[in-house]
Amino acid sequence: MTYAGKMRVIAIEEHYWDPEVSKHFKGYDSGRRGPLTERLYDLDQIRLKEMDEAGIDLQVLSHGAPSLQKMDAETAVGLARGVNDRLHQACRAHPDRFAGFAALPTSDPKAAADELERSVTRLGFKGAMVHGLTNGLFLDDKRFWPIFERARALDVPLYMHPATPHPAVVEAYYKDYIEAYPSILTAGWGFTVETATQAIRLVLSGVFEAYPGLKIILGHLGESLPFSLWRIDQAMSRAGNRGNSFRDTFSAHFWITTSGNFSNPALLCSVMELGIDRIMFSVDWPYVMNGPAVTWLDSVPLSAEDKAKLLHGNVTKLLRL
Ligand code: MN
């Protein structure tokens, strides 16, 4: 691998599963391990071996979808502390290889904000990851703003990760293709639509005016938003709209990562819209393997200076690694 030993590589959307969480979700059962689940439950040998083979120095670990978001408040609050403490143990076992994003019980926003604070100040976590809707609600709903207020106060980013779309959306948009193409619900399209919608709603909600230093990360090269930024910005400025600059708010508060989207045209579009300083490398392991991600880096048409920003410089600054 070209990058092994040549340039520091940090990947920040790298998942694992906590058995105490996954046992609450049908089909995520830890008893039935294939190549994917074996990797998700591994926080040591398999993970480190595959990082070494690809030349990835550090993974910022996060629970896979749907994590604590698709649980009732009581269950999620009861689990959160243990989940984050166990992730902390995994990071402590290999402090030069792993860092952590907290899992938050968003269905109890005050408890989620408190757990974010505990995870950052006591466990050294770098922020938190949130997966899709909570109780059918997008996070721009004002009930969730205590989480954003706390993230702002702690100066840590929140990573907005996809999860399976709302059941009504599944019914209306995707139902008739799920059997032949189950990925239409997830990485094929459903994830993209839902997470891009979450980001747009956050911009429109006024949460960034309320908390001006708030920082949000999107994976998958921004869930298609860099490609659509000009059109969204123009349309939101038309008569009848409130008139804030979508572009200015999005560009000031969002960072994006390359997770699971190793496309040079998409990367160059993102660089042209947001600038290289807003883009960070990620793989999305083990849903996507490290090898193709690192091989792609060879073909990325950026200067050595910009590649260094992409692979470690920007994230080191944002997460204060
Ligand atoms: Mn992911």
In a domain, 251, yes or no: yes
Query: Which of the residue ranges 30-44, 226-240, 274-288 would you say has the lowest mean pLDDT?
Result: 30-44
- CATH number of the CATH domain containing 79: 3.20.20.140
Indicate whether 187 belongs to any domain. Answer: yes
pLDDT digits (tens, 9 = 90+) for 301-314: 999 999 999 999 99
* Rounded Cα gap, residues 15 and 22, in angstroms: 13
Phi and psi for 90 in degrees, rounded to 5?
Answer: -65, -40
Per-residue pLDDT of 216-259, as tens digits, reads 999 999 999 999 999 999 999 999 998 789 999 999 999 999 99
Share of the chain above pLDDT 70, in %: 97
Strand partners, 216: 158, 254
Q: What pLDDT shows up at residue 33?
A: 77
Domain span at residue 71 reads 10-319
Question: Is residue 198 within 8 Å of 187, Cβ to Cβ?
Answer: no
pLDDT band of residue 114 (cuts 50, 70, 90) is very high
Cα 91 from Cα 126, distance rounded (Å): 12
Distance 122 CA to ligand 1 centre (A): 25
283 belongs to a structural domain: yes
Chain segment 3-29, per-residue pLDDT in tens? 656 899 999 999 999 999 999 987 676
Question: What is the model's pLDDT at position 30?
Answer: 54
The mean per-residue pLDDT over the stretch 77-98 comes to: 98
Is the residue at 288 inside a domain?
Answer: yes
On whether residue 291 sits in a domain, the answer given is yes
How many other C-beta atoms are found inside a 10 Å radius of the C-beta of residue 189?
17
Cα(276) to centroid(ligand 1), Å: 21
Residue 295 and residue 262: Cα distance in Å, rounded? 10
The rounded mean pLDDT for the chain is: 95
On the question of pLDDT at 53 being above 70, the answer is yes
Q: How far is the CA of 160 from the centre of ligand 1 (A)?
A: 10
Q: Is the Cβ–Cβ distance between 132 and 69 less than 8 Å?
A: yes
- Summarised one tens digit per residue, pLDDT across range 118-176 is 999 999 999 999 999 999 999 999 999 999 999 999 999 999 999 999 999 999 999 99
Give which of 74, 82, 73 is closest to 21, Cα–Cα: 82
Q: How many Å lie between the centroid of ligand 1 and the Cα of residue 238? A: 35
Place of tokens 């699971």: 260
Residue 2 lies inside a defined structural domain of this protein? no
Q: Is the pLDDT of residue 2 over 60?
A: no
Question: What local confidence, expressed as pLDDT, does residue 1 receive?
Answer: 44
Q: In the predicted model, is pLDDT for residue 84 greater than 90? A: yes
pLDDT > 70? residue 31: no
108 is catalytic: no
* 100 Cα: distance to centroid of ligand 1 (angstroms): 14
- CA 237 to centroid of ligand 1, rounded, Å: 32
CA pair distance 59, 257, nearest whole angstrom? 13
Q: 222 lies in a domain?
A: yes
Residue 159, domain member (yes or no) = yes
240: CA distance to ligand 1 center in Å?
A: 37
Is the alpha carbon torsion for 39, 63, 136, 246 positive or negative?
negative
What pLDDT, on the 0 to 100 scale, is given for residue 209?
Answer: 97
Q: Give me the catalytic one of 52, 284, 298, 306.
A: 284
Percent of the chain with pLDDT over 90: 94
- Number of domain units in the chain: 1
* 3-state SS track over the chain: CCCCCCCCCEEEEEEECCHHHHCCCCCCCCCCCCHHHHHHCCCCHHHHHHHHHHCCCEEEEEECCCCCCCCCHHHHHHHHHHHHHHHHHHHHHCCCCEEECEECCCCCHHHHHHHHHHHHHCCCCCCEEEECCECCECCCCHHHHHHHHHHHHHCCCEEEECCCCCHHHHHHHHHHHCCCCHHHHCCCCHHHHHHHHHHHHHHHHCHHHHCCCCCEEECHHHHCHHHHHHHHHHHHCCCCCCCCCHHHHHHHHEEEECCCCCCHHHHHHHHHHHCHHHEECCCCCCCCCHHHHHHHHHHCCCCHHHHHHHHHHHHHHHCCC
